[in-house]
Amino acid sequence: MKVIIAEKPSVARDIADVLNIKTKKKGYIEGRGCTVTWAFGHLVTLLEPGEYDPALKRWSLDTLPFIPDEFKLKLINNRGVDDQFRIIKTLCEQAEEIVCATDAGREGELIFRYILALCNCEEKPIRRLWLNSLTPDAIMSAFKDLKDGHDYDSLYAAARCRSESDWIVGLNSTRYYTVRHGRIGGGGDRVLWTIGRVQTPVLAMIVERDDTILQFRPQPFWELTTHYREVIFKYTGKRFIKIEKAQALLEKITNQPFEVTTITAKKKKEQPPQLFDLTTLQRELNKLHGLSAADTLTATQNLYEKKLVTYPRTDSRYLSKDMKPRVPEIFEQLKAVRPEQIAQLNLSKLVFTKRIIDDKKVTDHHAIIPTGVKPRILERNEQLVYDAITTQFIAAFYPVCIKNITTVDSISNQVKFQAKGTQIVDPGWTTLFPKKKQGTVNDQTLPVFEKGETGSHEPFLRESKTIPPKHFTENSLLGAMEAAGKFVEDDTLREALKERGIGTPATRAAIIETLLRRNYIRREKKQLRCTDMGRCLIALIQDPLLKSPEMTGEWEEKLKQIERSKLSPDDFMGGISDYIRGLILNSSAGRLNSTRWGSCPFCGKEIIKGKRAYGCSGWKDGCNFVLEPDCKGVTLTEKQIQVLLQLHILPYPVRIEDEPRMLILSTQGMIMDLNLPSAKRQKKTDKSA
């Protein structure tokens, strides 16, 4: 008997239908010598410390770090899991061959292999079904090309390392920071500080951005511009920090003639957009419609299970060569949905550029594209996502957009100016998308100018102020995670940095939702802002690597190397274990220096004690930081002052109006009074790590 294990019941039913397997039983479908059964996503997880040793149920610094010699597995504690697992185990024990039909990726492989391990059936012959879509043709084609299951051993090794490294870092650091820094009141209440290998660097990015905005002080500047023939010309030099210099130049050109010196016209070609991977799809839907990354992933997964789009959890924006014959067929089917748009394409002569077809840039799965199946009734989010994927697919094969960029250089009394204008010659692919709002300077419509023409003009100064960076949105945060914190808009540069991203396309949405659920960040319309709890946690963590996006990006890159069999899993896990041992050892060794007060949060210089307050030793250089011991109705002790200034945190029992509080000295020199929930009001489990 051949047993096929799918990740979800719906996928199992699709496979059974294609293979003409009809007899339905409790927990499986059988027929024609095959049995199709299913998981409910993850059925199996790692044991918690207390299940290795009952003494480890108590959270204590003395038992840290805890790293099992061998990780063990158990069923997750969800309704129906026990019954379904018993069915799967019985079928696997009877099977002559087991086919893995879970999602074709790292987590899908982990689900299958963990089930196999807990069933004690790892020695059974296994085969791998690798699906890019759930259409009947795709399923049948994949079954004709079943792979040896052990061809994916390295993928499983990477998945297992991801799971175990998250357990080691998350559990040990969560226990350490909760035990050491969680006590906030005399009654024994604790705050549960949850730390994660991936989530904490993401939180640190948000806190750093919010702190930068808080610290930002707008600086005024002036720009010299002039009106000539209803066109705005800008001074070609730098903007002015001092108005006196700007005023002097304004006076120099006032009532002076204005002359056009050169006119340059260039044709610019804008290439069609590339196909979507999951992250760019999530960013686009967040930018255009405000959908969260999680909502976009859910909608795309639903479309995949409805056979409308290909596999969603992909990090590639390219198709492989073997997809070429399939593309015209998909367009033929899509005529029922987009007849006018597809009518503009010559389906017998589609142009497959390197921006579309590149085998080297297709790893596990190609880009997300429609399958050609006509949709029926879709929910709002599903419709938005389907429309975006379909439009992007059509646009990729449309002609380039051709623009004329005209640059007009001019001069007035030896002061140089320039104006730019854009004219669309052939809109090409841009006809498929809403028109962008025109800019006021570079996209203005220019009249016909003649070289050497002169005339009067109206110069003026435009006052403005520097602006801080913008708060993260899900769109920009996903971009920053993809580039390991080095957020850039340029697709090519982002592609080059992609190998060092935080998380994977499949997990980034869940990371954001985890931070929201734990109240470390909050949504404000489209923005993602850190909460006081989130800022407090980042202030607590002294180890820079635990907060480093680049370090986490390097870990993710090593996981990819394990997938490619270029790095030993033991080497990676050895590095993770050494790291967590060092983190706890170094953090435990961190003690207050009783001979100094601390450093200034403004400039970093030493703090000195005055008659009534504590201040920065750099006051002669203009630093005005002062910390008074009376704060929020509490008089801080000298030790508490040292804690605030040396650690920027006060993890000692402080009660204000009978409420447990924690005081934080922020990087802006402000004392934040944080009312914290106790651990009694939070469910403290190892899973929360």
Residue 238 sits in a domain whose CATH number is 2.70.20.10
**Amino acid 272: pLDDT:** 96
Domains of the chain: total: 4
Same domain? For 385 and 437 the reply is: no
> Which of 165, 181, 201 corresponds to the end of one domain?
165
Closest CA to 199 of 475, 516, 487: 516
Per-residue pLDDT, 91: 97
State the pLDDT at residue 442.
Answer: 66
Residues forming beta bridges with residue 263, ordered by sequence position? 408
Q: 138 with 235, same domain?
A: no
Same-domain check for residues 53 and 127: yes
Q: What is the pLDDT of residue 298?
A: 96
Residue that terminates a domain, selected from 446, 465, 484: 465
Q: Which of 176, 235, 311, 579 is catalytic?
A: 311
In a domain, 12, yes or no: yes
Domain shared by 252 and 291, yes or no:
no
Domain with residue 143: its CATH number is 3.40.50.140
Of 205, 65, 204, 193, nearest to 587 (Cα)?
A: 65
Cα–Cα distance, 88 to 91 (Å, whole number): 5
What backbone phi and psi angles, to 5 degrees, belong to 17?
-60, -45
* Mean pLDDT in order along the chain per 10 residues (689 residues): 94 95 95 95 95 94 94 94 96 96 93 97 96 92 94 96 96 92 57 91 92 88 96 95 95 96 95 96 96 96 96 94 94 96 95 94 91 95 98 97 95 96 92 74 83 96 94 94 63 53 88 95 94 86 84 87 95 94 76 71 82 86 82 74 66 44 56 51 40
Task: Tell whether 108 is covered by a domain.
Answer: yes
Asked whether residue 673 is domain-assigned, the answer is yes
- Overall size of the chain counted in residues: 689
Burial of 142 (0-12, 13-18, 19+ CB in 10 A): buried
Same domain, 294 and 227: no
pLDDT number for residue 679:
41
Nearest to 540 by CA among 646, 682, 629: 646
Boundaries of domain holding 613: 607-688
pTM of structure: 0.84
Other beta carbons within 10 angstroms of residue 22's beta carbon come to 11
Catalytic residue status for 311? yes
Integer Cα distance of 75 and 458 in angstroms: 77
Pick from 486, 131, 436, 474: nearest CA to 281? 474
Q: 332 in a domain, yes or no?
A: yes
- 183 lies in a domain? no
Instruction: Give residue 605's pLDDT.
Output: 83
Indicate the residue among 395, 417, 438 that finishes a domain.
395
Residues 7 and 150 in one domain: yes
* 596, part of any domain: no
Q: What is the CATH classification number for the domain harbouring 371?
A: 1.10.290.10
* 428 occurs within a structural domain: yes
Residue 144 and residue 8 share a domain: yes
Kindly report, residue by residue over 423-460, the tens digit of the pLDDT: 889 999 999 998 776 555 667 889 999 999 999 999 99
Same domain, 53 and 84: yes
Same domain for 26 and 71?
yes
Q: 7 with 156, same domain?
A: yes
Domain shared by 368 and 405, yes or no: no
If asked whether residues 25 and 109 sit together in one domain, one would say yes
The reply to whether 629 falls in a domain is: yes
Helices 508-517 and 199-215 cross at an angle (nearest 10°) of 70
